[in-house]
Chains A and B, each alone.
Chain A
Amino acid sequence: MSDDQAPKDYKESFIHLEYQYTAGSATTTFLNQVKEGRLVGQSCPKCKAVYVPPRGSCPRCGIATSIEVPLTDKGCVESFTVVHIPIPGNPIVPPYVCAMIRLDEADISFLHLVQDIEIDQIRIGMRVQAVWKPKDEWTHSLENIKWFAPIDEPDVDVSTLRFKPS
């Protein structure tokens, strides 16, 4: 007997809470740039690590990341997974590639999609570039980037990417 046929031995009691979400001033600055199609990271004044998206601090040093660093929309796949199951609340149809994208000059990666390539061709170290939505659809969101697509450049040895403080 499946769950929905079984007699209910419980009662659902819904919790509904609303929040006013605030991104924080560093992220706000970043999203204002994203709306204009630019990716701007922030670097730590002490160890020089570049964070993107920036969250306002360098957790290595515990200080604010005050210096803005304009970045390109090119980078490489630091690692990835192919997601084969549907995720609740996620509209993307599996299978799809969820990758850690390391932008050039950045010292941390962020998760995004990789498309425009056969799934079995994707590999660690592959060079990619952002595929942007049409300009009139840009908002304050990294969703302005539809996905990252491979570019014709030699692969990168990701072991050389590990951050070393200067």
Chain B
Amino acid sequence: MKKVAVVGYAQHKILPNAGALNEVELIMPVVHKVFNDLGISQDDIGFTCSGSCDYLQGAAFAFVEGLSAIQTSPPIKESHVEMDAAWALYESMLKIKMGDADTALIYGFGKSSPGNLDSIISLQMDPYYISPLWPDRVSLAALQAQILLQQKIITHDEMMATVIEARNNAANNPNALLTDHVSEDLYQADSLISSPLRGFDCPPISDGASAMVIASEDKAFEFTDNPIWIEGIDHSIESSNLGSRDLATSPTIQNAITNLNLKNINFDVAELHTQFSHEVPFLRKLLNLTNVPTNLSGGPLVGNVMMCAGLDAIGKTFQSLVRDQSDHGIAHASSGPCLQHNMVVHLERHK
């Protein structure tokens, strides 16, 4: 089976409200940036795959509009997942492994500002029993936070420390949306949205887009001296029925640890698609990352582009390994309420 490497990544500056910019105007600059960085064009791309959600824009086939940002003459091999673009990366990787392409362009985009994200995300739930109750995304996350706190798997202090650290780390990330520091006093004074989650524990409404290029082992070195190999990638989903899940653990993360043989790897860096502060200490413990620098970009707490933040975690890990010339990185992408669907990616720089 062919090995696959990440060779380039670009991120749009995360905006609270992209205003007049439509999806084409968000996507095109990042696609051009990643192409320019590598000195390539769409002609060098064998497969193109994107991730987005029609409902964010309030238009069926919003991604078809987005495709106008890409060169499609002659017709291209292209596909789309209604998921975070991390899964578009997954699909692209399969295409390379099967030999259908040597290179792939992946992009994700999302504008949460036009609609009401709380209402929109409620429609992810069981349409007969749960959705009519309009449970909002913060309340659903709070259910898991409460369980983790009560079972002493995490503490309030860890949540606070996560928020403070995320804001500090935002200084490393030129595209971060929230860069103001948060003090302990400020955090404590913040009002609760859904107990135990305060405003600071939640991600900001964000608009943006990102693009990535991956390549097979035959092609990777043509594009860069620093390919970062996808050493392992695994994802799986849990039940939709919150009542039947044990929210104090994550069987899907456990699956990934086993399937990717992660136990004995010393990671240098981790980027987790953790939208709420309690998810950071929770996943760090599960993944044995307590001593690993995590979310040096600030993570979703300082900028959370829906349908893109998972791809961003992989992209930021890629950038860290290239920049620091370190060896092992771990990235995580997630989907669904209370971390229902998780993907774990092991990235490696070969010496």
Q: Which residues of A contact B (CB under 8 A)?
A: 13, 15, 17-28, 55-57, 59-64
Q: Does B21 contact A (CB under 8 A)?
A: yes
Whole-angstrom distance between the Cβ of B136 and the nearest chain A Cβ: 13
Whole-angstrom distance between the Cβ of B124 and the nearest chain A Cβ: 13
B274-317 to A contact mask, C-beta < 8 Å, 1/0: 00000000000000000000000000000000000000000000
Contacts of B132 in A (CB 8 A): 13
Closest to A14 in B: B132
A7 CA to B69 CA, complexed, in Å: 50
Main secondary structure on A side of the interface with B:
loop
Whole-angstrom distance between the Cβ of B130 and the nearest chain A Cβ: 11
Residues of chain B from 39 to 81 with CB closer than 8 A to chain A in the complex: 42, 55, 57-58, 65, 67-73
Select which of A17, A59, A61 is within 8 A of B115 by beta carbon. A17
Say whether B114 contacts A19, CB under 8 Å.
yes
Closest to B123 in A: A15
Which of the listed residues B18, B32, B68 has the most CB atoms from chain A within 10 Å of its own CB?
Answer: B68
Q: Does B31 contact A (CB under 8 A)?
A: yes
A19 CA to B69 CA, complexed, in Å: 23
Contacts of A25 in B (CB 8 A): 20-22, 25
Contacts of B55 in A (CB 8 A): 17
Say whether A61 contacts B73, CB under 8 Å.
yes
Interchain residue pairs with CB less than 8 A apart (27): A17-B120, A18-B116, A19-B115, A20-B114, A20-B115, A21-B114, A24-B22, A24-B25, A25-B22, A26-B25, A55-B22, A56-B22, A56-B28, A56-B68, A57-B24, A57-B69, A59-B70, A59-B71, A60-B73, A61-B71, A61-B73, A62-B28, A62-B31, A62-B42, A63-B28, A63-B32, A63-B71
Q: Which residues of B contact A (CB under 8 A)?
A: 18-22, 24-25, 28, 31-32, 42, 55, 57-58, 65, 67-73, 113-116, 119-120, 123, 127, 131-132
A28 CA to B19 CA, complexed, in Å: 12
A28 CA to B22 CA, complexed, in Å: 10
Contacts of B71 in A (CB 8 A): 59-63
Whole-angstrom distance between the Cβ of B80 and the nearest chain A Cβ: 15
A157 CA to B59 CA, complexed, in Å: 36
Say whether A22 contacts B73, CB under 8 Å.
no
Which of the listed residues B22, B31, B42, B70 has the most CB atoms from chain A within 10 Å of its own CB?
Answer: B22
> Which 6 interchain pairs have the tightest Cβ spacing?
A24-B22, A62-B71, A19-B58, A60-B73, A59-B68, A19-B114
A155 CA to B168 CA, complexed, in Å: 68
Closest to B120 in A: A17
A19 CA to B116 CA, complexed, in Å: 7
A56 CA to B22 CA, complexed, in Å: 9
A17 CA to B70 CA, complexed, in Å: 30
Say whether B24 contacts A23, CB under 8 Å.
no
Say whether B24 contacts A18, CB under 8 Å.
no
Say whether A24 contacts B20, CB under 8 Å.
yes
Whole-angstrom distance between the Cβ of A58 and the nearest chain B Cβ: 8
Closest to B41 in A: A62
A19 CA to B57 CA, complexed, in Å: 8
Given the interface contacts A25-B20, A60-B71, A62-B70, does A17 sit within 8 Å of B25 by beta carbon?
A: no
A67 CA to B41 CA, complexed, in Å: 22
Contacts of A59 in B (CB 8 A): 67-73
Say whether B28 contacts A57, CB under 8 Å.
yes
Contacts of B31 in A (CB 8 A): 62
Q: A28-B20, A63-B71 are in contact. List 19 more A-B contacts (CB 8 A).
A: A13-B132, A17-B119, A19-B114, A20-B113, A21-B58, A21-B114, A24-B24, A55-B24, A56-B22, A56-B68, A57-B69, A59-B71, A59-B72, A62-B28, A62-B31, A62-B70, A62-B71, A62-B72, A63-B32
